[in-house]
Structure 1
Amino acid sequence: MIGKLAPVAGATPGKPEDKQRAKLVEAAKAFEAVFVRQMIGSMRQAKLADDIFGSPSTDQFREMQDAQFADEMANKGGLGVAEMLIKQFDKQVGK
């Protein structure tokens, strides 16, 4: 979803606006990844059932898996948070 966004109006490749927009896209994806990690972490803390294989090492690997999942979701535009941020701040990048 995010990769399909149109370039800044009137921008040509290699211009500072394109570099700023690339930084904006990267920051928006990173923000969405952190947001998703926080959300998954909150869901895990709810512990609605006992974990059969529960141990500190299992928890550590589950956290690593959740972080990877959050990064992948953000890169694919999972929740659309990054896309909304890009739309919001894209107007300021061209200035």
Structure 2
Amino acid sequence: MTQLAAIGPGNGIAAQPPQDADQRAELARAAKAFEAIFVRQLIGTMRQASLGDELTGSSAVDQFRELSDARMADSLADKGGLGIAELVLQQLEKTK
């Protein structure tokens, strides 16, 4: 009976895949967040380097541009944008 008592729905391999799926989803979210931050930095640097129109340069316009850039970066990362998130996810899965 000891052998039968060790077998149950909470024991064994069947209980592990949901944990792995949750862990993969968490890694995917982290990879997308990393891509969004990277793209945000990239856009911000490009905007600083551009010879933009300084006639409308005010703190409100700067704040709007920052928010717009952040939204664009988040949207790009959500849709797979540059593919950075997928590469980061693959690398993280290799190390686990």
Q: Do the two structures share a fold, i.e. TM-score over 0.5?
A: yes
CA contact (8 A) 1:12 1:18 kept: no
CA shift for structure 1 position 87: 1.3
* 1:15-47 CA-partner distances (Å, limit 9, x unpaired): 210110000000000000000000001011113
Residue identity over aligned pairs, in percent, reads: 54
Q: Indicate whether 1:60 and 2:63 are aligned.
A: yes
1:89 equivalent in alignment to 2:92: yes
Contact 1:11–1:18 (Cα < 8 Å) also in 2: no
Higher helix share: 2
Residue identity matched to 1:58 = V
- The root-mean-square deviation of aligned C-alpha atoms, in Å, is 2.3
Provide structure 1 residue ranges, at least 5 long, that are not aligned to the other structure. Answer: 1-9
The 1-side partners of 2:82 and 2:14 are apart by 28
Count of equivalent residues: 84
TM-score, normalization by structure 2: 0.76
**More contact order relative to length (CA 8 Å, sep ≥ 6):** 1
1:75 alignment partner, one of 60, 69, 78: 78
Question: What amino acid sits opposite 2:39 in the alignment?
Answer: V
Aligned to 1:29: 32
SS at match of 2:26: helix
* Bigger Rg, which one: 2
Structure 2 gap ranges (5+): 1-12
